[in-house]
A and B are shown apart, each in its own frame.
Chain A
Amino acid sequence: MAATDRTPDGASAVPPATARLLAGAVRHSPGRTAAVFLCSAVAAGVAIVLPAVLGRTLDLLLDDADGLHGAVVLCAALIVAEIVCTALEALLGGVVTARSAAWLRRLGVDHLLSLAPHRAGEHPPGDLVTRLTGNVAEASTAPTTAAAGLAALFVPIGGLVALGVIDPWLLAVFLAGVPLLIWLLRAFARGSSESVSGYQQVQGEIATRLVEALGGARSIAAAGGSTRELGRILDPLPRLNAQGRRMWRVYGRAMAGAGILVPLLSTAVLAVGGVRLAGGHLTVGELLAASRYTALAAGLGVAVGGLDALVRSRSAARRTAELLAIPPMRHGDRALPAYGPGRLELCGVTVLRGGEPVLRGVDLVVPGGATMAVVGRSGAGKSTLAAVAGRLCDVDAGVVLLDGVPLTEIDPARLRREVGYAFERPALFGETIADGIAFGPYRPRPAGIEAAAAAAGADTFIRLLPGGYAAPRATAPLSGGELQRLGLARAFAHAGRLLVLDDATSSLDSVTELRVDRALVHDVRAGTRLLIAHRVSSAARADLVAWLEAGRVRAVGTHERLWEEEEDYRAVFVATEALGGAPGTGSTCGAIGDATRYSAGDSAREGM
């Protein structure tokens, strides 16, 4: 299992192209899509034919000629057909869109869940969500938009042709008026973008002020001056109002232009048609048809705008396809040896990020049941090591073994039961606090959840929440340290043979951290522990310390030995503090305190 791991080895790993994605959506409901096309086509055909038939019927009526009955019946049939077809188009189009969207989303979510987090993380979460919500919604309208767009394009063109067939003079009048239309639309586009940007700028000012005040809510509450704050936030509002009114003025001018153009064109066509009628070249019915065809032909601009929607659908589909093109993680189906001690081995592990090595040929063994702390300056590759140890990402070279089995060959369900993680900033799931802790491959019993919470030092504050363990997770007021402890509890509740703590106690004060460390050893199921540590105290309490430097293992040994023998080792902890490498305000001070205590025996400055 070397670098071959990420090579695409099957058809599914080849990025599905945009066109193929859309074709897939169509194939997902082929009959309905065909029906949508059929309905649109019929409705468009009726729209083109109907004015002519109406005109002919009118002529027959006025002449009291034979065949009137048949003409009226034809009109009725066409009108009913148009109503039925547009209704069916709306129904089937909506259903096809909904089915395509659901299909694309299922595909997208399943793919997302199959990715290595760092690959998905190349796109910010908001971007991923947009690709699966807004982009999919737009992409999935492609079949219906194509059908409707084609039809919408045919109708004006048909109107234009029909106008010419009735009388070439009428077509000439119409074509003379079109340049005017284009000129007016352009004038609108110029004025509007300018006023829109001014408007948005003022809007942004108000938003900035509000966000500022919300960040200082506690201060404002303590000062008791919220009316004053509201005044400050809303200070730019009159300017927004003025900008808004300017926008309406510009828009109104454009609407006035667009609004008179089509009726004027119609009137001009009628005038010329009237003259031709008086000359006996045109019937009354043809005049009626001509005025209707003028209106239809004037819709050409709108129809072309409709094609724009198709272009948008396609580019939206491309964004979704890009997500699906990220190669997923591949898994084996091997089991782990029963009752293995949790021995973790890294052999020649190299990991590249953006072409640069983050880990370079790391060889490391964590004996089963041991606690190993990983220390190093920020950027030394500690978190990558943690991710590799439980296969949150794959290695570019080398192999990682758990109880002798390469991680890539282990059945993922079994692997996750045996390897647990806690993070510096955990993301919690589930409705309640208890659900958040129970989140995992299986749901522990309530007693197990509470025991895990107690071991993580979370039981006390959970009971202080309204509702305790049943408190709604999303709205519970949680500090960074409390969130960390819930993440720890989640890992403890599902503890298997390997637990990886990636800076998972950084926001805890020293006392709580000590309690958690003790509980980890005494109360949580025994196994191997790998902890990424910033504080001296954590390193000191571990059986072994692995000291990382620039992606390589510099030394492995007990903390005491490294502390005494290696001057650079002591510097690691000071450097971490100075760089602010330990996020969370408490931890930085903790590191100082610990370091001073260890070096000078001074007890004065312990972190809070």
Chain B
Amino acid sequence: MSVERSGVPALARGFLARRKRVLVRLGAWSLLESAQTFLGGYGVAMALDHGFLAGHTGTGLAWLAVAAVAVICGGAATGGVFRGLADLVEPLRDGLIRRVADRALTEAIEAPSRAADGAVVSRLTNQTELARDSFAGLVLVARSFVFTMVGVLIGLGALAPELLIVVLPPLVLGLALFLATLAPMAARQRVFLDADEALSTQLGAVAEGLRDVLAAGAGQSVAARTHALIEAEARAARVLARWAAARTVALGVAGQLPVLLLLVTAPWLLRQGLTAGALLGALTYLTQALLPALHTLMNALGAAGTRLLVVLDRLTSGSRSALPGTPVAEKGRPSTERGAPARVEIRGLTFAYGPNAQPVLRDLDLTVEPGEHLVVVGPSGIGKSTLAALIAGLLAPDRGEIRVAGRPVAPIPAEPSRRRVLIPQQAYVFTGSVRENLLYLCPDGASPAALTATAAEVGLLPLVHRLGGFDAPVDPAALSQGERQLIALGRAHLSPAPLVVLDEATCHLDPAAEDRAERAFAARPGTLIVVAHRISSAHRADRILVLDGVHAVCGTHRELLDRSPLYRDLVGRWHAERI
């Protein structure tokens, strides 16, 4: 896990600084807990000294009743504590969910071709929940410890200030020891979690690819690598166990040593005038309040604390990038009418997917006239979709220039969708009504008549009827790929953009439906660029661009049959001769 780690403390400070009032409220409610702790020891001491030992049983019971009332008040305060806790924890969870969603979306938009991140749902649900629970546990326990300590120390001081001289040194020593184990332990915990994750990843790959491991005869090397990862994980766990032992010693020093020291110094304290009740009260503080509080603190800080740190790291690492603006925010005159068909001019276009990679497109020159219908064909992986993405501004050229309607294409965030529409192979349909889905690319809305006309032209009406009309809700998961593509096509058809780019947007339609949809687009005013999935698309085009990785040839069907051997191959003028 190679994430930026310094960010979490700063983020935490900022988060807490913005919630001072919540913290104060939480502290105020917690003070009742101090009072409960205080009376727990002090009441016992008084009950003994002034009651049971002095022969006034009633006074003794009265003091214990006071302590009991304090316990009940403390319980009542728990409600307030939990309200304050919710005010801290729920905003944290909201913020984490926002971050996770924002980052996942931003990353997906920046690199749409990358496979979807499968871990995002786990991050959104399991990991934010882990953070929420750990944080809440930590706040509860740390708060409880601090206010219990306050109650104990005030109580000891009230019983006899000398008690503090005896109790404080071992307590401070133990806490210091404990704090010293925190940082190294967190580091070891991270090492362990990293090792665990590496092992899980490897096991996942093996389980998924068992057939391939066997078929490739790589069982031994895979086993060796997995064993090494298992051993690394076990090693990290053993180191962690050593630190857990060190933490236990610190707990013992902080919690048990004061008891021992109190017994050793008791004769001296009694000579100083300490009463039997005060001694019992002091021992009650140490064994009944301090020891349990230390126990929970160490367990919580050890487990939940490091877990929280690691999860927060994972959830917040990576820069929070500003999201591109909405199309509605576009500058310029708002217009509901369709723009005039746009000319697309490409000059000397070169693009590679990285500095060390060979260019996918090299020195491409191409002009698509306003209103023209161009089809791009070529073998898979040759750069057709890359060209579509460049024209749509999803990618920036390394060299050269693309102009749409005379203006250069800007990288996507700045340029809104009013001028061009790109429909990719994976149709995007979201939970919402059919109408909302179809108006997605119409920033200014569209008339019901236009909506119906578009639906009729692209062949969407049967689906709309089946779903229950334009205002019926759409459950994307219940639609077939082809139905989703139809909705996306309807959306593009309805949009006022003067340039439409269809990137294999009809691949899940049957040939007849594809034909109908492409004809609807050809009839639509505007320039149309189609990255073809089937060669049949070429027959409907004004001109065809053939990409073969080295050359780009553009012309009509007839011209290309003469000029491009690849085109001849594609349309099937090659023979499947025996080879």
> Which residues on the B side are within 8 Å of A102 (C-beta)?
230-231, 233-234
B360 in contact with A464 (CB, 8 Å):
yes
The residue that A464 contacts in the complex, of B259, B352, B440, B574, with Cβ under 8 A, is B352
Contact flags (1/0) for B537-579 with A, using CB distance below 8 Å?
A: 0010000000001000000000000000010011111101011
Contact flags (1/0) for B199-216 with A, using CB distance below 8 Å?
A: 110011111111111111
**Of A97, A271, A475, which is in contact with the most chain B CB atoms at under 10 Å from its CB?**
A271
Q: Which of B7-15, B115-123, B151-159 contacts A (4 or more CB under 8 A)?
A: B115-123
B252 in contact with A466 (CB, 8 Å):
no
Distance between Cα atoms of A464 and B382 in the complex (Å)? 10
Distance between Cα atoms of A17 and B374 in the complex (Å)? 68
Q: Which of B324-332, B339-347, B396-404 contacts A (4 or more CB under 8 A)?
A: B324-332
B354 in contact with A465 (CB, 8 Å):
yes
A106 with B57, Cβ < 8 A, contacts A83-B248, A508-B380 known: no
Distance between Cα atoms of A84 and B243 in the complex (Å)? 14
B323 in contact with A226 (CB, 8 Å):
yes
Distance in Å from the Cβ of B323 to the closest Cβ of chain A? 5
The residue that B412 contacts in the complex, of A224, A440, A461, with Cβ under 8 A, is A224
Q: For residues 258 through 279 of chain A, which have their beta carbon under 8 Å from a beta carbon of chain B?
A: 259-260, 263-264, 266-268, 270-271, 274-275, 277-278
> Which residues on the B side are within 8 Å of A363 (C-beta)?
none
Distance in Å from the Cβ of B388 to the closest Cβ of chain A? 9
> Which residues on the B side are within 8 Å of A230 (C-beta)?
98, 101-102, 105, 323
Q: For residues 74 through 127 of chain A, which have their beta carbon under 8 Å from a beta carbon of chain B?
A: 75-76, 79, 82-83, 86-95, 97-99, 101-102, 105-106, 109-110, 112-117, 120-121, 125-126
A226 with B115, Cβ < 8 A, contacts A237-B97, A392-B214 known: no
Contact flags (1/0) for A413-436 with B, using CB distance below 8 Å?
A: 101110111010011110000000
Distance between Cα atoms of A97 and B216 in the complex (Å)? 34
A79 in contact with B109 (CB, 8 Å):
no
Q: Which of B47-55, B454-462, B463-471, B519-527 contacts A (4 or more CB under 8 A)?
A: B47-55
Q: Which of B18-26, B60-68, B309-317 contacts A (4 or more CB under 8 A)?
A: B60-68
Is B377's beta carbon under 8 Å from chain A? yes
The residue that A226 contacts in the complex, of B109, B121, B205, B536, with Cβ under 8 A, is B109
A259 with B283, Cβ < 8 A, contacts A94-B244, A208-B431 known: no
A61 in contact with B234 (CB, 8 Å):
no
Q: For residues 271 through 298 of chain A, which have their beta carbon under 8 Å from a beta carbon of chain B?
A: 271, 274-275, 277-278, 284, 287-288, 291-292, 295
B283 in contact with A210 (CB, 8 Å):
no
Is A58's beta carbon under 8 Å from chain B? yes
A467 with B210, Cβ < 8 A, contacts A88-B245, A244-B86 known: no
Distance in Å from the Cβ of A227 to the closest Cβ of chain B? 5
> Which residues on the A side are within 8 Å of B270 (C-beta)?
61-62, 64
Distance in Å from the Cβ of A511 to the closest Cβ of chain B? 5
B572 in contact with A466 (CB, 8 Å):
no
B120 in contact with A210 (CB, 8 Å):
yes
The residue that B570 contacts in the complex, of A128, A490, A511, with Cβ under 8 A, is A511
**Of A61, A203, A225, A482, which is in contact with the most chain B CB atoms at under 10 Å from its CB?**
A225
Distance between Cα atoms of A82 and B55 in the complex (Å)? 38
A263 in contact with B40 (CB, 8 Å):
yes
A429 with B205, Cβ < 8 A, contacts A54-B259, A464-B352 known: yes
Is A409's beta carbon under 8 Å from chain B? no
A216 in contact with B417 (CB, 8 Å):
no
A608 in contact with B116 (CB, 8 Å):
no
Which residue of A is nearest B71, CB measured? A263
B576 in contact with A417 (CB, 8 Å):
no
Is B318's beta carbon under 8 Å from chain A? no
> Which residues on the A side are within 8 Å of B114 (C-beta)?
475, 477
Distance between Cα atoms of A263 and B358 in the complex (Å)? 74
> Which residues on the B side are within 8 Å of A517 (C-beta)?
579
Is B288's beta carbon under 8 Å from chain A? yes
Is A175's beta carbon under 8 Å from chain B? no
A99 in contact with B234 (CB, 8 Å):
yes
> Which residues on the B side are within 8 Å of A421 (C-beta)?
212, 215-216
Is A514's beta carbon under 8 Å from chain B? yes
The residue that B380 contacts in the complex, of A64, A468, A608, with Cβ under 8 A, is A608
The residue that A220 contacts in the complex, of B105, B247, B288, with Cβ under 8 A, is B105
Is B349's beta carbon under 8 Å from chain A? no
B534 in contact with A221 (CB, 8 Å):
no
Distance in Å from the Cβ of B575 to the closest Cβ of chain A? 9
Q: For residues 226 through 260 of chain B, which have their beta carbon under 8 Å from a beta carbon of chain A?
A: 226-227, 230-231, 233-235, 237-238, 240-242, 244-249, 251-253, 256-257, 259-260
Is B350's beta carbon under 8 Å from chain A? no
A248 in contact with B82 (CB, 8 Å):
yes
A244 in contact with B90 (CB, 8 Å):
yes
Distance between Cα atoms of A415 and B256 in the complex (Å)? 66
Distance between Cα atoms of A217 and B101 in the complex (Å)? 13
A260 in contact with B71 (CB, 8 Å):
yes
A83 with B206, Cβ < 8 A, contacts A541-B578, A608-B380 known: no
Is A322's beta carbon under 8 Å from chain B? no
Is B169's beta carbon under 8 Å from chain A? no
> Which residues on the B side are within 8 Å of A51 (C-beta)?
287
B106 in contact with A226 (CB, 8 Å):
yes
> Which residues on the A side are within 8 Å of B216 (C-beta)?
416, 420-421, 439-441, 490, 494
Is A365's beta carbon under 8 Å from chain B? no
Contact flags (1/0) for A507-529 with B, using CB distance below 8 Å?
A: 11111101001100110000000
Distance between Cα atoms of A86 and B252 in the complex (Å)? 9
B508 in contact with A429 (CB, 8 Å):
no
The residue that B325 contacts in the complex, of A116, A224, A603, with Cβ under 8 A, is A224
> Which residues on the B side are within 8 Å of A466 (C-beta)?
353-357
Distance in Å from the Cβ of A122 to the closest Cβ of chain B? 12
A58 in contact with B234 (CB, 8 Å):
no
Contact flags (1/0) for A449-481 with B, using CB distance below 8 Å?
A: 000000000001101111110000001011101
A277 in contact with B75 (CB, 8 Å):
no
Which residue of A is nearest B211, CB measured? A117
A288 with B283, Cβ < 8 A, contacts A91-B241, A224-B327, A274-B64 known: yes
A125 with B204, Cβ < 8 A, contacts A287-B280, A426-B212, A537-B576 known: yes
A465 in contact with B417 (CB, 8 Å):
no
Is A252's beta carbon under 8 Å from chain B? yes
Is B111's beta carbon under 8 Å from chain A? yes
A106 with B227, Cβ < 8 A, contacts A206-B97, A426-B212 known: yes
Which residue of A is nearest B113, CB measured? A477
The residue that B74 contacts in the complex, of A113, A259, A416, with Cβ under 8 A, is A259
Distance between Cα atoms of A392 and B380 in the complex (Å)? 31
Which residue of A is nearest B329, CB measured? A227
Distance in Å from the Cβ of B337 to the closest Cβ of chain A? 20
Distance between Cα atoms of A102 and B226 in the complex (Å)? 11
B85 in contact with A248 (CB, 8 Å):
yes
A234 in contact with B357 (CB, 8 Å):
no
Distance in Å from the Cβ of A36 to the closest Cβ of chain B? 11
Distance between Cα atoms of A82 and B284 in the complex (Å)? 19
Is B31's beta carbon under 8 Å from chain A? no
A423 in contact with B211 (CB, 8 Å):
yes
Q: Which of B261-269, B363-371, B444-452 contacts A (4 or more CB under 8 A)?
A: B261-269
Is A253's beta carbon under 8 Å from chain B? yes
The residue that B283 contacts in the complex, of A54, A92, A277, with Cβ under 8 A, is A54
> Which residues on the A side are within 8 Å of B424 (C-beta)?
218-219, 222
Is A161's beta carbon under 8 Å from chain B? no
Distance between Cα atoms of A112 and B211 in the complex (Å)? 11
> Which residues on the A side are within 8 Å of B244 (C-beta)?
90-91, 94
Q: Which 4 A-B pairs have the closest CB atoms?
A: A94-B241, A416-B217, A216-B428, A466-B354
| Cβ contacts A to B, 24 pairs, < 8 Å | A62-B279, A90-B244, A98-B241, A214-B108, A215-B428, A216-B427, A217-B116, A218-B112, A218-B422, A219-B424, A220-B428, A267-B68, A274-B47, A278-B51, A288-B283, A416-B216, A428-B212, A429-B213, A440-B216, A467-B357, A509-B379, A604-B571, A604-B572, A605-B511
Q: Known pairs A477-B353, A606-B572; list 10 more (Cβ under 8 Å).
A: A90-B247, A237-B94, A271-B60, A412-B219, A429-B213, A460-B549, A477-B115, A517-B579, A585-B508, A607-B535
